[in-house]
Amino acid sequence: MGNMTTESKAARPTLPASPPLTERQEARRRRILHTSAKLASRGGFDAVQMREVAESSGVALGTLYRYFPSKVHLLVATMQDQLQHMHETLRKRPPSEQDPGARVAQTLMRAFRALQREPHLADAMVRALTFADRSVSPEVDTVSRLTTAIILDAMGLDGPATPEQLSAVRVIEHTWHSALITWLSGRASIAQVKIDIETVCRLIDLTAPGRER
Amino acid sequence: MGNMTTESKAARPTLPASPPLTERQEARRRRILHTSAKLASRGGFDAVQMREVAESSGVALGTLYRYFPSKVHLLVATMQDQLQHMHETLRKRPPSEQDPGARVAQTLMRAFRALQREPHLADAMVRALTFADRSVSPEVDTVSRLTTAIILDAMGLDGPATPEQLSAVRVIEHTWHSALITWLSGRASIAQVKIDIETVCRLIDLTAPGRER
DNA sequence: CGGTAATCTAGAACAAGTTTCAGAACTGCT
DNA sequence: AGCAGTTCTGAAACTTGTTCTAGATTACCG
């Protein structure tokens, strides 16, 4: 693969924080993300080619790289974008189950069904996410926080989560990502993913506050 | 990255099965795997460069590709190799804990400490494993079976595992891989990984046969 | 041993991610 | 409007994974 060496020397806090981004810049960024998602939907990770993303977004290659310092950055940002949509969508129809564990399982299965509709896009995003090295940590962390938020929302807790519950949520996230990967690479069926999600979600109820070890 | 497109058309059951492999071929294969591990130990995934592997193994580039059809194949095979060692090592000192869950946690923490001694190698192998696409499924599956075997060994069961236990083992594997990734990319501490492993291992005891739901 | 097919070598060639650079276009500021 | 600094463009160059080719070598068979 290309130079995925990455050890960003020049500080380039281009996107997330520092400069407020003019309107045209915001538009460019949005166009790029849209193209990225479109290409990913077609053919997954491999189909997102930087030259094509640039051309199809009406932007020079160098500019694309200024906005997203690598293909993985781009795809992780794309995932952030999609996750935000997902979060809003899910928030509108809260899960119907009673137990927190069952609620989380139900929510994740909804998300999973959404991903099934765009398996290539899912492939691109998840592969990028797990392939990301340290230089993408901040962005990957954002994705992780979004995922955590979705799960915590689904739990429908009254008070704040206990440390044990947070651990369970972490493990659920691990399982979620890894199960997706096995599904995407054809080593696990949809049914198998469902079982894994339901299995791990038992941890939630197991760690409900006011319970024996 | 290069053509990780992969959709192997020409059947080339080179390694795993068909032809018995002459002695020199076996030696070549072993030399390649050794080089791969050596380079990976130095600088992780990026440091394993196909040209260098070939040269350093005293083999032509084309030959390397005949033995391992892609960089990911090579690294997954390297992982198979290392896992086999690990399995033998672990088998020699069975875990001291009583509960199956605790035994698994103890075993995985031993494996984790071994990985900590070669973080770059761990990086290369785990990244390859999760980045692998369908064309590597058989090899990834082998790795998965090896991992499962290690965990089942650690459980020290009398009879065969129940389906529920097998599900738990699957989830543990998911967590194991994903936790490793977060650690390798610097987003989780060693302590955090430990907690995650211990958390997920509770599922084992939860699914012990002869137990209420 | 001689012949033939499979394997191996050296090296060029190709693909896609990434970097670089000179100049054009745009921004903010006075 | 005019200028200094940043951003963007277009195009070439560079890197590394992967493929291809022509010619040696080797392995196997009668």
Do the Cβ atoms of A130 and B133 come within 8 Å?
A: no
State residue A212's pLDDT score.
47
pLDDT score, position B207: 78
Count the neighbouring beta carbons within 10 Å of the beta carbon of residue A7. Answer: 8
Which of the residues B178, B194, B205 would you substitute to probe the A interface, choosing the one with the greatest number of A C-beta atoms within 10 Å? B178
Q: Are A48 and A74 in contact, with CB atoms under 8 Å apart?
A: yes
Q: Taking CA atoms, what residue in B is nearest to A178? A: B174
Question: Is A140 within 8 Å of B203 when comparing Cβ atoms?
Answer: no
Nucleotide nearest to A7 (CA to C1'): C18
Closest nucleotide relative to residue B72's CA, C1' based: D17
Per-residue pLDDT, A202: 94
Q: Return the sign of the alpha-carbon dihedral for residues B53, B57, B60, B65.
A: negative
A144 in contact with B, Cβ within 8 Å:
yes
**Cα B197 to Cα A34: distance, rounded to the nearest angstrom:** 38
Q: Return the DSSP state at A14.
A: T
Which pLDDT belongs to residue A207?
78
What was the pLDDT predicted at A24? 87
- pLDDT for A4: 38
| Interface with B, mutate which of A123, A147, A199 (most B CBs under 10 A) | A199
What is the full per-residue pLDDT of chain A (213 aa) written as tens digits? 434 333 333 333 333 445 667 888 899 999 999 999 999 999 999 999 999 999 999 999 999 999 999 999 999 999 999 999 999 999 999 999 999 999 999 999 999 999 999 999 999 999 999 999 999 999 999 999 999 999 999 999 989 999 999 999 999 999 999 999 999 999 999 999 999 999 999 999 887 765 444
Q: Is A194 on the interface with B (CB under 8 A)?
A: no
pLDDT by residue, tens only, chain B of 213 residues: 434 333 333 333 333 446 667 888 899 999 999 999 999 999 999 999 999 999 999 999 999 999 999 999 999 999 999 999 999 999 999 999 999 999 999 999 999 999 999 999 999 999 999 999 999 999 999 999 999 999 999 999 989 999 999 999 999 999 999 999 999 999 999 999 999 999 999 999 887 765 444
The answer to whether the CB of B186 falls within 8 A of the CB of A138 is no
Beta carbons of A92 and A149 less than 8 angstroms apart: no
pLDDT of residue A13: 36
What pTM was computed for the model? Answer: 0.90
Q: From the CA of A130 to the C1' of D21: give the distance in Å.
A: 38
State the pLDDT at residue A82: 96
Buried/exposed code over B131-162 (b: 16+ C-beta within 10 A; e: otherwise): bbbebbeebbebbbebbbebbbbbbeeeeebe
pLDDT of the residue at A18:
59
Tokens of A139: 């962005």
**How far is the C-alpha of B80 from the C-alpha of B140, rounded, in Å?**
9
Q: Looking at residue B22, what is its pLDDT?
A: 83
How many CB pairs (< 8 A) connect A and B? 113
Q: DSSP character for A63?
A: H
Q: What is the C-alpha separation between B188 and B184, in angstroms, rounded?
A: 8
Indicate yes or no: CB of B1 within 8 angstroms of CB of A4. yes
CA distance A191 to A21: 44
